[in-house]
């Protein structure tokens, strides 16, 4: 079955530091890959996505590149801000065995804390 493995947190950085959160996946098909973000006390928001190999998703200064050869989708940001403090979830979406339905598989989430 499909699975997503992301680096365990918590991750603590100083403002303006470089961020990488690793994510690797296992899938039988050709999944789309996503990063979702959950700010404190809020719901899940779609941060970025990539639908095929070598695609780069980007949003709010965050980037992630779909690497089929390494089955990875690492999240990066060049200079984090205090407001980026949140839990980040890597996820993949793939059709189920029936072929007509998309299923979302999540990683366990990584808590990022950015200090001023």
Partner 1 sequence: DSGVTQTPKHLITATGQRVTLRCSPRSGDLSVYWYQQSLDQGLQFLIQYYNGEERAKGNILERFSAQQFPDLHSELNLSSLELGDSALYFCASSARPGTGAGNTIYFGEGSWLTVV
In the complex, the residues that contact partner 1 under the rule CB under 8 A are 32, 34, 36, 42-46, 49, 51, 89, 93, 95-96, 100-104, 106, 108-109
At closest approach, how far in Å is the CB of 53 from partner 1? 15
Nearest to partner 1 of 31, 84 (CB atom): 31
H helix and E strand count, the chain = 0, 12
CB 75 within 8 A of CB 20: yes
Instruction: Output the smallest distance, CB 18 to partner 1, in A.
Output: 27
Nearer to partner 1, 70 or 100 (CB): 100
- Least distance (Å) from partner 1 to the CB of residue 52? 11
Nearer of residues 40 and 116 to partner 1, judged by Cβ: 40
Identify whether the C-beta of residue 2 lies closer than 8 Å to the C-beta of residue 25.
yes
Rounded CA-CA distance 1/60 in Å is 32
Helix, strand and coil in the chain, % to nearest 5: 5, 55, 45
Taking the mean position of all CA atoms in its chain, how far away is CA 7?
10
Cβ closest to partner 1, residue 4 vs residue 19: 4
Minimum gap (Å) between residue 106 Cβ and partner 1: 5
């Amino acid at each position: 079955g499909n699975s997503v493995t992301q680096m365990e947190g918590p991750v603590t950085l100083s403002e303006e530091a470089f961020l990488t959160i690793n994510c690797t996946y296992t899938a039988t098909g050709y999944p789309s890959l996503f990063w979702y973000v959950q700010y404190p006390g809020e719901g899940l928001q779609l941060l970025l996505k990539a639908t095929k190999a070598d695609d780069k998703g980007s949003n709010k200064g965050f980037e992630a590149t779909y690497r089929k050869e390494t089955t990875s989708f690492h999240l990066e940001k060049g200079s984090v801000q205090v407001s980026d403090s949140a839990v980040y979830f890597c996820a993949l979406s793939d059709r189920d065995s029936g072929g007509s339905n998309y299923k979302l598989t999540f990683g366990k989430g990584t808590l990022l804390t950015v200090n001023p």
